[in-house]
Structure 1
Amino acid sequence: MSRALGVIAGAAVLAGLVLVGLGVFPVDLSPAAPVPSPVPETLAVSLPPSPQASPSPSESPRPAPPVLRLSGPVPTKGSGSFEYAATGGPVRGRSGTLLRYQVAVERGAGEDAAAFGAAVDGALGHAQSWTAGGLRMQWVPRGTPYDFTVHLATRETAGRLCGAGGVDITVRGRPYTSCRIGGSVIINLDRWRLSVDHFVAAKVPLARYRDYVINHEVGHQLGHRHELCPRRGRPAPVMMQQTLDLKGCTANPWPFLNGRRYAGPLK
């Protein structure tokens, strides 16, 4: 071997020893195996309750729709005799003449005299009723002095009593409206339970019609005549024949509005 070749061979051996001493090892250059992605942790999620299963506390329940008329058959004829309420109520109104009235329900009408009396007392004792105009009224039990009587009668009896007093309450051949004769206010049971079609179509509650018919017929007892609608869109005067038609006015059961007597042109 020549001296040059020996030097080269020795250098190669020395380089190999140095590489080994430095910890340099042969590298595997084949493609690396893919590293799996970390598995995400499962999160506990609290879902809100279904609106159908649990309504929001801020939501208030919907009010029940008003009663427009009562269901079920209405007796058309009773015994012709009346049961009088044995109870009464306080004096309604602050000053003026005191008028006392008693209430009576026809036997066979299916109505309670005390309950009817309470409805009459509520209507006449309202702050916008006749007692707002310098007049006092009181519901009194039978056996107590009284000025007039409010009767609830089946339509056949109402037609007979009103006709005997000279008032025709028939519409299309059937006793339909109510009336006042002498010292008696006669409320037709059909209207008391069913109201009238145009009130029902306008969604006027039955209780409002009852307030109207009581104040209207008692208005006759007080000497008031029928009145007309003053102008389309205005409240109907209580002495207007609202049972027959509103003539463009809106239903109104009270003789006083905004603290003043409300009336229309005389019919």
Structure 2
Amino acid sequence: MFRSARRRRRFALIAQLVAVVLAVGAAVSVIAERSGEPSDRLTAEEVASPPLVGGPLPPSADPLPTAISAPPSPSATPPPVLRMPGAVPTTGTGRFRHDDRAGPVLGRAGQLRRYRVAVESGSNEDVAAFAQAVQVALAGPGSWVDSGRLRLQQVPGDAPRDFTVYLATARTAGRMCADGGVDIRIGGRPYTSCRAPGQVIINLDRWRLSVPHFVSAGVPLAVYRTYVVNHEVGHQLGHRHERCPGAGRPAPVMMQQTLFLHGCRVNPWPYVDGRRYTGPAL
């Protein structure tokens, strides 16, 4: 009988100890939950959808990048620039800023002709950017230096040179061309570019706006710029105007593509497929 009583007391004590342990565990769990202590494990849902740091993105922000970016689709490619937006200054100060840098020698062999680059003050154009565009046009492949008998190099503004490439507002270009014996007016307004002795004069209107038949055909402005540089430099090198050799064929670079195409296709280069490309003399 005494053994039964002792056994019952022992069971009661064990039960009390188990209750105390369970109560302490529950209290610790509540304290941890209230204190915000992170758990050592993340749930599958948390791994799949990690929270955004700093809250949701504003509607105008770019989406977060993925680990591996997909290549852009062809439809995402921005369309080419056909003409520059905004008003074009029609007149400047008549004074020019020269690019003071020397460029690389363009071409493999032949006579070296040096040129400098200048932009009219008040044209809102950067002389270094203009010089770079001129260099791209003259470097080719497809430019005049592809003959193997000519090299070209940009020199600083105060260096000896064979000619200067100017970017001038329409009114200044009209005056400079007229002084050189060339009338660039269409409808009474200076319209085209020209070459005067020792001067390649690019009309700012054309540099920024191209021409209507290029724009309507979707020809990029960069192509027109390459054409007009090679055309006017071609005059400086002694080349005359040429005509379209046949409908559907490339236009010779010495054709007056600024005014018409006459069934030819736009072409900004004097050399096509490594060969000098010409049309009938005008």
Q: TM-score interval w.r.t. the shorter chain? A: 0.7 to 0.9
Alignment of structure 1 residues 1-267 onto 2, 5 Å: 57=70, 60=73, 62-133=76-147, 134-267=149-282
User: 1:3 maps to which residue?
Assistant: none
Extract unaligned runs of 5+ from structure 1.
Answer: 1-52
The 3 A distance-change label for structure 1 pair 58 and 154 is: closer
- 1:112-169 Cα deviation digits (max 9, x unpaired): 1111111101100111100001210001111222110000000000001101111000
Q: Deviations over 1:203-255 (max 9, x none)?
A: 00000000000000000000000000000000000000000001110110000
Q: Distance in 1 between matches of 2:123 and 2:197?
A: 23
d(CA) in 2 for partners of 1:257 and 1:230? 14
The structural deviation recorded for 1:60 is 2.4
User: Using the alignment, how far apart are the partners of 2:256 and 2:70 within structure 1?
Assistant: 47
Q: TM-score, normalised by structure 2?
A: 0.74
Q: Distance in 2 between matches of 1:144 and 1:157?
A: 24
Query: Counterparts of 2:152 and 2:195 in 1: how far apart (Å)?
Result: 17
Deviates more, 1:56-65 or 1:164-173: 56-65
Aligned partner of 1:11 in structure 2 is none
Give the aligned length. 215
- Aligned-partner SS, 1:244: coil
CA distance in 1, matches of 2:141, 2:225: 16
TM-score normalised to structure 1 length: 0.78
Distance 1:123 1:58 in 2: 31
Where 1:187 maps in the other structure, the secondary structure is strand
- Alpha-carbon distance in structure 2 between the residues aligned to 1:214 and 1:138: 14
4+ residue runs over 4 A deviation: 56-59
Q: Secondary structure at the match of 1:91?
A: coil
Q: Distance in 1 between matches of 2:220 and 2:279?
A: 23
The one-letter code sitting in structure 1 at the alignment partner of 2:241 is H
CA-CA distance at 1:86 after TM superposition: 1.0
Q: Partners in 2 of 1:140 and 1:242 — Cα distance?
A: 29
Structure 2, unmatched stretches of 5+, are 1-62, 64-68
- Could you tell me how far apart the structure 1 residues matched to 2:150 and 2:198 are? 18
Distance, in Å, in 2 between the alignment partners of 1:58 and 1:73 is 37
Looking at structure 1, the residues matched to 160 and 187 of structure 2 have their Cα atoms a distance apart, in angstroms, of 39
Using the TM superposition, give the Cα deviation of residue 58 of structure 1 relative to its aligned residue in structure 2, in angstroms: 6.8
SS in 2 for 1:92: coil
Higher helix share: 2
